[in-house]
Amino acid sequence: MIAAEQAHSSAAPVAIETGKLYVGMDIGGTKTAAVVIDAAGNLGADVLLPTAQGNDGVLRTAEEAMLALAKQTGCAVSDFSAAGLGIPGQVDSVRGVVRYAYNLGVESLELAALLRERTGVEVAIENDVTAAAVGAAHLMQLSGSVAYINLGTGLSAGIVVEGKPWRGSQGLAGEVGHLAVDPRGRLCPCGQRGCLETVASGSALKAYWPAGGEHPGWVLAAAVANGDADAKLAFELLVEGAASTVRAMGVTIAPEAVVIGGGLRKIGTPLIEGIREQLRAWEAESPFLSGFTLSQRLQVLPEGMPAATVGAALSPRV
Ligand SMILES: [Zn+2]
């Protein structure tokens, strides 16, 4: 188990046990983050690289990240026992194939086998949000069932049961962002109307509040504090949508803990407390809903906690 204070300071590598070393990588649309952990979960080297696009670009980026980690660790790439990669898209963890990772320019890629060919290291792949869910449960020391909700540009969730990911058929579990809740709502890129992603995500926030620019989540709290009425309405709609998402996950799987992660959590305390207040209001109206105690189970992924990379590093073993 990685100590919380250590997990917060990824810039300060500690002495790691030689022997079994695992690579954990989070391949994002613009950047790829990677770490090394030992068998005890101690965090060693870490790197951050720009992600190159397309099948060859993604493979090259992953290989370069492993080379950089080996250099920092003072070992050869072949000394790594295994590598776990979190990647967006539809991920078949059994066959090691990722499909429809459009923000990486990837239609279909046999990522695990091809990276193993290049590096000689065993490779496991996982959906990026599922990997972050595994990492969050591990680092936050949450047992039982955990619903991890990623409020980013899009909206999706990862489910962990007793430390293990619940992937579902074809790795599709957790696509709560495309639970359609409003037949008269906005059209979603997925082809449905009124999906939760259209009311609780960075793209929803942009639609609510066009004046917020390219990254409205970064400036929303300040605009609300300054009395901007449009920002305040956008914030309220976002909070309501996010609380609806927590409720949907909550009544479906009755998790021991619900964790909010993703880029929008940078809005900070107002967002998480707003979601909690909305849940409390609904719970006050419904004895049925209050039985799930969701307002008490809600937590936020601490800033700087490397859930995505650590969860990916654990994935070859879960
Ligand atoms: Zn949708």
- Domain architecture of the chain: domains with CATH: 4-133+305-317 (3.30.420.40), 143-300 (3.30.420.40)
Distance (angstroms) between ligand 1 centre and the Cα of 118 equals: 36
Distance (angstroms) between ligand 1 centre and the Cα of 264 equals: 19
Q: With pLDDT > 70 as the criterion, what percentage of the chain qualifies?
A: 94
According to DSSP H, which parts of 83-228 are helical? 111-119, 128-139, 202-208, 216-225
Distance (angstroms) between ligand 1 centre and the Cα of 187 equals: 8
Give pairs for 295-300: CB < 8 Å, separation 24+: 297/250, 297/255, 297/256, 297/257, 297/258, 298/246, 298/258, 298/260, 298/272, 299/140, 299/257, 299/258, 299/259, 299/260, 300/259, 300/260, 300/261, 300/265, 300/272
pLDDT band at 15 (very low <50, low <70, confident <90, very high): low
Instruction: Let me know: does 66 contact 121? Beta carbons within 8 Å.
Output: yes
More confident residue, 67 or 317: 67
**Does residue 275 register a pLDDT over 90?**
yes
* Per-chain mean pLDDT for the chain: 93
More confident residue, 49 or 9: 49
Segment 112-164, tens digit of pLDDT: 999 999 999 999 999 999 999 999 999 999 999 999 999 999 999 999 999 99
Q: What is the pLDDT of residue 39?
A: 87
Burial degree of 266 (CB within 10 A; 0-12, 13-18, 19+): middle
pTM for the whole structure: 0.91
**Does residue 16 register a pLDDT over 60?**
no
Distance (angstroms) between ligand 1 centre and the Cα of 189 equals: 6
Distances (CA, A) of 110 to 90, 99, 116, 118, 127: 12, 9, 10, 12, 14
The pLDDT of 232-243, averaged and rounded, is: 97
Distance (angstroms) between ligand 1 centre and the Cα of 148 equals: 19
**Does residue 254 register a pLDDT over 80?**
yes
Distance (angstroms) between ligand 1 centre and the Cα of 183 equals: 12
According to DSSP H, which parts of the chain are helical? 4-8, 54-73, 111-119, 128-139, 202-208, 216-225, 229-253, 269-285, 287-290, 294-297, 307-314
pLDDT band at 314 (very low <50, low <70, confident <90, very high): very high
Segment 55-88, tens digit of pLDDT: 999 999 999 999 999 999 999 999 999 999 999 9
pLDDT band at 316 (very low <50, low <70, confident <90, very high): confident
The pLDDT of 27-31, averaged and rounded, is: 95
